[in-house]
Chains A and B, each alone.
Chain A
Amino acid sequence: EAGVVQSPRYKIIEKKQPVAFWCNPISGHNTLYWYRQNLGQGPELLIRYENEEAVDDSQLPKDRFSAERLKGVDSTLKIQPAELGDSAVYLCASSLDGALAVEQFFGPGTRLTVL
């Protein structure tokens, strides 16, 4: 069974440029999460999707970050414009539906460097 796929693995951009990250969850997993992991810290949730609906985006900086999950499968996270403080690893995870589906499966992440 294929795991969570993310691309690109690395991205280097200059500040004020836009950037986008892509995630393909495990087949059949309807819940998708985007986390940001700053250097030396644990991941923090940015947004959670149940199918196409963003059910928790309270930690997403909406002035510059946006996300979408068209058709309830793949998801894209965008930053525009990027700032120096956005340098981090962006992790995507997925899980099955339901209260018992507590285990989240993570992708390899995208390391973003903003210069």
Chain B
Amino acid sequence: AQTVTQSQPEMSVQEAETVTLSCTYDTSENNYYLFWYKQPPSRQMILVIRQEAYKQQNATENRFSVNFQKAAKSFSLKISDSQLGDTAMYFCAFTEGAQKLVFGQGTRLTINP
């Protein structure tokens, strides 16, 4: 069974700093997709970034980038120049296709002014 593990329950950084959230996963499949979702107090799950396993190049979206290490089954999220609006729960998620998403336990990120 696929599992996703986020080992950092909480993190806190100062505004404008860079922060990295960790995620590891377990699968026997070769083709799959990885995501980072942000969930603010409003509860709306917002897609931050996605990575296709067959792509070697790490995905980037503005201030957000990932470090995808397929052999190590690691998928970390880096947030550069952090902003107050980045404060939220962050979930790492995995899917093999148009099926269910398997989520990690989440990391509560707080950006302090």
Chain A interface residues toward B at CB < 8 A: 31, 33, 35, 40-45, 48, 56, 89, 91, 93, 95-109, 111
Determine how close the nearest CB of chain A comes to the CB of B96; give it in whole angstroms: 9
Residues of A within 8 A of B43 (CB): 89, 91, 108-109, 111
The 8 closest A-B pairs by CB, nearest first: A42-B103, A106-B45, A45-B100, A109-B43, A102-B33, A99-B97, A108-B44, A101-B98
**Interface size class of chain B, counting residues whose CB lies under 8 Å from the partner chain:** 20 to 34
Interface residues in B55-112 (C-beta closer than 8 Å to A): 91, 93, 95, 97-101, 103-106
Contact for A108 among B4, B42, B47, B105, CB less than 8 A: B42
- B44/A106 in contact, CB under 8 A: yes
How far apart sit A45 and B95, CA to CA, in the bound complex (Å)? 12
Measured between alpha carbons, how far is A98 from B44 in the docked complex, in Å?
24
Inside 8 A of A99's CB, which chain B residues have their CB?
A: 97-98
Report A-chain residues with C-beta under 8 Å of the C-beta of B37: 106
**How many Å lie between the Cα of A75 and that of B102 in the bound state?**
22
CB B36 to nearest CB in A, in angstroms, measures 12
- Whether the pair A42, B98 counts as a contact (CB closer than 8 A) is no
Bound complex: CA A76 to CA B18 (Å): 42
Are the C-beta atoms of B98 and A33 separated by less than 8 Å? no
Contacts A42-B91, A42-B103, A44-B103 known; A91 to B98 CB distance under 8 Å?
A: no
Contacts of B99 in A (CB 8 A): 48, 56
Cα A40 to Cα B99 with chains together (Å): 23
Considering only residues 10-45 of chain B, those with a C-beta below 8 Å from chain A are 33, 35, 37, 42-45
Most buried by A among B4, B44, B50, B93: B44
List of A residues within 8 angstroms of B104 by Cβ: 42
Q: Check B105 against A103 for contact (C-beta < 8 Å).
A: no
Given known contacts A103-B50, A109-B43, A95 and B98 CB-to-CB distance under 8 angstroms = yes
